[in-house]
Structure 1
Amino acid sequence: MSKLTVVANIHAKPDQIELVKAELLKLVPITRAEKGCINYDLHQDNEDPAHFTFYENWESREIWQEHMNAPHLAAYLAATEGAIDRFTLAEMTPIG
């Protein structure tokens, strides 16, 4: 099993920042308690409050995929439908 780092960038629509932030914050304690989650850290850009970043480390890609299919992720997607301007995700492997 190879450790997986995930960097997810979420850009809320300007009028939906507080909704998106509240929904993202709900994910933190639930996800941190998941099997195989090493860290799950949420950040908000100091210059652009609509930009949020998750920096995550997982024991394996398979475990992360289980997380992506979890009910709390589905609830987040439903709650923020139409509130996200753009979303990017990078799966990365530590090399140093």
Structure 2
Amino acid sequence: MIVSLIATLTARPETREELFRLLVDQVGPTRAENGCIDYNLHVDAMDPHVFVFYENWKSQADLDAHMEMQHLKPLLSQIDRLLAKPIDIWRLRPAEPTGNG
């Protein structure tokens, strides 16, 4: 089953540009990973300190493998310093056509 995520990261004002560069650097390598359907980075239109990833994976195993990738290490090793608050993650699944979602 496809695994979809929305992850919101809020930068500290003093680390906004550094975080932005680290996030942008994740896009290409992540899109090339096995099981990545799409991986899109957005910036909140009202708050430039808020970044949102919308991502879809072929399976939970593919997402789990992504979280262990070497290219994430520079970001994950500094996450507490870079973020104003913890990452907010929404895990999504397709809605059932019966309306029972």
Distance in 2 separating the partners of 1:61 and 1:27: 19
**SS of 2:42 mapped into structure 1:** strand
Tell me the TM-score normalized by structure 2: 0.88
Q: Return the letter of the residue paired with 2:91.
A: E
Could you tell me which runs of 5 or more consecutive residues in structure 1 were left unpaired when the two chains were aligned.
Answer: none
Shift of the alpha carbon at 1:8?
0.3
Distance in 1 separating the partners of 2:8 and 2:51: 6
Distance in 2 separating the partners of 1:60 and 1:95: 17
Shift of the alpha carbon at 1:29?
0.1
**SS of 2:81 mapped into structure 1:** coil
Shift of the alpha carbon at 1:79?
4.5
Q: Which runs of 4+ in 1 moved over 2 A?
A: 78-81
Tell me the TM-score normalized by structure 1: 0.92
Q: Which has the larger radius of gyration?
A: 2
Equivalence for 1:37: 36
Distance in 1 separating the partners of 2:79 and 2:63: 21
Point out the more displaced range, 61-70 or 86-95.
Answer: 86-95
Describe the superposition over 1:16-71 as per-residue Cα deviations: whole angstroms up to 9, x where unpaired: 11000000000000000000000000000111000000000000111101001111
Higher strand share: 1
Could you tell me which runs of 5 or more consecutive residues in structure 2 were left unpaired when the two chains were aligned.
Answer: 97-101
Shift of the alpha carbon at 1:78?
2.2
Equivalence for 1:25: 24
